[in-house]
Chains A and B, each alone.
Chain A
Amino acid sequence: MTPLVDRVRSSGLTLRALSVSSFVAATLPAAPESWRVHSCYRRTVNIIGGRGVWVSLHPLGVPLHAYSVIVDVGADAASFLCATPGESVRISKSLIEIGDRRVAIVLEGADTWDAAIGRIGYFSRSSAAAALRELRVLARVCPGQSLFLARVLATRAVALAPGQDTDLRSLLGARLDDTLNDIVAAWQAQSADRLAAALGPAIGLGFGLTPSGDDFVTGFVAAAHCFAGTDVLPGEGLIDDLVAAMRPLIRSTTLPSYFMLKAALEGFYPEPLRGLVGSLASGDPARMRFCIDRLSDLGATSGRDMLAGVLFGFEVALGREECPALEENDEARIH
């Protein structure tokens, strides 16, 4: 069998898209436009359009983001599409052509995956409180590490063991603590501007291509989105104002992260995060656990940082005094 890279180099290739997120489907132009390849990783090719639009191409097996297209690359995904940054791309709702038709990706016939959490009033105050308690238990046993998740958990009753932080990590932790306190105060004041100002210092903060702070903010906004219009957050004014106030702030981060935040502000989220919110609404602990496991596998720490954002969003929205305390059997499950 000839490796994909050789087939592409020699004769060009037509591939089929398997799945397109609803966010991308709404973004793509009806008539072909000229975009370019922005960046390439082992399993991702990012392409960017002149009017500030972004699409990520992945093979099957990569978690879906709001701006994802999943491409059937057959047996050999090792050299995914062999694209190089700067290459030209022609793109429309029906076809993506990379490098002067070297690779053509047919979009017609692909499934459309709904990336929207939507403001459909998933939660009542009592169901949110029950979900929060479960979430707090499960977050503590979530595998892997995330400074953001550790800090959010440390704001609750169960203190973390002191770590061996370096100076920079301690500084990052202190910055985070300030941010968390500011968010709480801004939410209590029900001020969208203050809330955006409080979330701002988290944008672009921390490690990773999508810095941890951006993942945290994405999780937090997801929580806010699913409370809008419920008895937790009556009306949609606060979330609308928050989105408007945050739009200028998200430009200060990396491009992949900017597009993730942009989609989040419009209510579209990575599939594992959307799955978690759905599981919280279902109230089914087994499903929650499955979704948290899946979310925690996202990126290096992205999933866990998003989990921290969702958890903190729930705690802030419900108010600390109403946050259900852990019961004895919850503690037993943690330990």
Chain B
Amino acid sequence: MKHVSIEKSVYLDSVSLMRLSKKVGEAPGVKSAMVAMATDTNLLLLRDGGFDVAGLGAASANDLVIAIDAQDAAALEAALSLVRNEVTGSAKPHGDGESGTYVARGLESALKQYPEINLVLISVPGRFAAYEAEKALRAGRHVMIFSDNVSLEDEQRLKQIGRDQGLLVMGPDCGTAIIAGAGLGFANSVPRGRIGLVAASGTGAQEVSSILARSGLGISQIIGTGGRDVSDTIGGVMTKMGLGALIRDAATDVIVIVSKLPSDRVAREILEIASGGGKPCIVYFAGYAGEKHRGGLVFTGTLADTAVEAALAATGQVISPVPDDRRLPERLRDLRVKLPASRRFVRGLYSGGTLAQEAVFMLGGALAPIHTNMKLPGTVRLEDAAVSIGHTIVDLGDDVFTRGRAHPMIDQAYRLARLEREAADPETAVILLDVVLGYGCNADPAGELAEKIEKIGTHPIFVASICGTQGDPQNYGLQRQKLEGAGVLVAETNAHACELAGAILDSQR
């Protein structure tokens, strides 16, 4: 059923027109649709597509032509109604000043309207982020740069300005921060408390703060720095400034550092400040395998242990992130028995980069070689990050996967497709997953995963951990229920999930 009509002298901008065309084209029962300007060439195109444009009467290029090919009258009417609503809606005047909400159109106007603002969160395409960040710094505000794809040179320059002016530059690519109780980026809902974090790793900070929160302990601040801060080029500028801030912060009793392994020089400078701060300090440098106690500091090997040590320093109590589950050995045994011998590899599909790194470090010893898209010692680099080989752990937040789409902590489309592909591989024994909750994250990550996993059947074995809290918008308990309902083995922490995956695979060898 083909319909074509004209709306006289309707002006919609291109973005609105495209959006409307797409929306109508995807409406139920619509086979094809075009909402465009009624130019001669478009009308000819429609005529050739079988639409009766001769009956339209006089139309000019400045009118809107609406062409819909629908399966039936009801679908057509629904689609037309959609168009009418959009066209009428777009004709409403803008900015009538009656809503009472001030929407700033730029940094200057926001700062002018609210001069008390002292921190600016920048989340714009990477190529514009440095410019906006510099404007904020020049205006004397701290900055959190959520954006990635900012050049190292820009990062160096911005952090230099920040250091000179005593302003924090959190990021670029800083996913998580909590400042004075305000969660920024992907932060979880955690109670206020006495433990402060300085983190060059967003999901690392989330994992530690969530474990603490689930044990009833709170956070004073999370100062994110962006992953490259501890590189030789940047020199840990913001990690050192953040440490200084936490040392001076009266609300912080215990300091936690979460970061990938810095260079020797940067590590030495960071640890020197931490040692002299007069506050207990727990250090998680991913991949660090040295002594546990050094220079008055406590070094840990996993994010879960980091939370345990921080809790011990803050309260004198030992928390147990992983409760004793007496049925677990039996369940593992059942799973192993049912697993065909040909299924022998682990496939880790991670949305959190630091959690993926932790998985590599935890499994690397027993399951070497691990193939990965991350640059990590003792691993084999995947030539094509989209194709797994043997034991594979991939960070799906890597640029190669996020070009043109949102981060997998927000949009799981690629992860779900990859999960299906990995499950179909007859050599996949265990699929290891992280489910990251928080304010800016996907509204129902476990629900999406569970729906896909339920369709897959018995094999492979799915092992997941959930990084989040009961207070998160997604709700830790509900997310857990969904995964368990789909037969997923849910671990309490990422480290525990890796142990379970290792135990299943170890028994096969």
Contacts and interface: CB of A to CB of B under 8 A. Distances in A.
Interface stretch (B35-43, B192-200, B316-324, B435-443): B35-43
A205 B37 contact: no
A154 interface: no
B42 A252 contact: no
B97 A79 contact: yes
Interface stretch (B26-34, B276-284, B306-314): B26-34
Nearest to A75: B109
Contacts of A4: 95
B103 interface: yes
B105 A77 contact: yes
B105 A254 contact: no
Contacts of A162: none
B39 A301 contact: no
A190 B127 CA distance: 41
Interface string A80-121: 101001000000000000000000000000000000000000
Contact of B94 (A79, A166, A171): A79
A144 B404 contact: yes
Contact of A254 (B62, B93, B403): B62
A199 to B, nearest CB: 11
Given A3-B95, A299-B14, A211 B37 contact: yes
B42 A204 contact: yes
A82 to B, nearest CB: 8
Contact of A252 (B40, B95, B105): B40
B61 A300 contact: no
A319 B33 CA distance: 37
Nearest to A202: B41
Which of A1, A206, A208, A301 has the largest count of B CB atoms less than 10 A from its CB? A208
A202 B106 CA distance: 37
Contacts of B376: none
Contacts, number: 146
Nearest to A59: B105
A205 B42 contact: yes
B105 A207 contact: no
A197 interface: no
Interface residues of B, number: 46
Contacts of B97: 3, 5-6, 79
B105 A76 contact: yes
B41 A205 contact: yes
Interface in A173-218: 175, 201-211, 213
B17 A75 contact: no
A209 B37 contact: yes
B40 A41 contact: no
A3 B96 CA distance: 9
Interface string A132-157: 00000000010110000000000000
B61 A254 contact: yes
Interface string A240-265: 00000000000011110110000000
Which of B11, B41, B69, B104 has the largest count of A CB atoms less than 10 A from its CB? B41
Nearest to A77: B105
Contacts of A234: none
Q: Is the interface of B mostly helix, strand, loop or mixed?
A: mixed
B117 interface: no
B163 to A, nearest CB: 27
A5 B102 CA distance: 13
A327 to B, nearest CB: 18
A166 B109 contact: no
B39 A207 contact: no
B67 interface: yes
A79 B98 CA distance: 12
A167 interface: yes
Interface residues of A, number: 58
Nearest to A60: B106
A326 interface: no
Contacts of B96: 5, 79
A207 B18 contact: yes
Interface in B56-112: 61-62, 67, 69, 93-97, 103-106, 108-109, 112
Contacts of B264: none
A320 to B, nearest CB: 26
A1 B114 CA distance: 11
Contacts of A1: 112-113
A39 B33 CA distance: 26
A293 interface: yes
A300 B37 CA distance: 14
A300 B14 contact: yes
B386 to A, nearest CB: 9
A176 to B, nearest CB: 10
B14 A208 contact: yes
A168 interface: yes
A276 B13 CA distance: 24
B15 A252 contact: no
Contact of B69 (A41, A61, A74, A167): A167
A54 B113 CA distance: 35
Interface in A39-54: 39-42, 44
Contacts of A42: 13, 94
B41 to A, nearest CB: 4
Contacts of A202: 41
Contact of A302 (B12, B14, B48, B125): B14
A209 to B, nearest CB: 5
A254 B125 CA distance: 31
Given A3-B97, A290-B127, A171 B15 contact: no
A254 B131 CA distance: 36
B61 A252 contact: yes
Given A144-B404, A171-B45, A78 B62 contact: no
B344 to A, nearest CB: 29
A208 B39 contact: no
27 contacts: A1-B112, A44-B13, A75-B112, A77-B106, A77-B109, A167-B31, A167-B69, A168-B32, A168-B49, A168-B67, A171-B49, A203-B39, A203-B41, A204-B40, A204-B61, A207-B36, A208-B14, A210-B14, A211-B37, A252-B39, A252-B41, A253-B37, A254-B37, A254-B39, A254-B62, A255-B62, A301-B14
Interface of A: 1, 3-6, 39-42, 44, 59-61, 74-80, 82, 85, 141, 143-144, 166-169, 171-172, 175, 201-211, 213, 252-255, 257-258, 290, 293-294, 297, 299-302
* Nearest 9 pairs of A and B residues by beta carbon: A204-B39, A79-B95, A75-B109, A166-B32, A208-B14, A78-B95, A300-B18, A300-B14, A3-B97
Given A175-B48, A300-B14, 6 more contacts: A5-B97, A44-B13, A77-B109, A207-B14, A211-B37, A300-B19
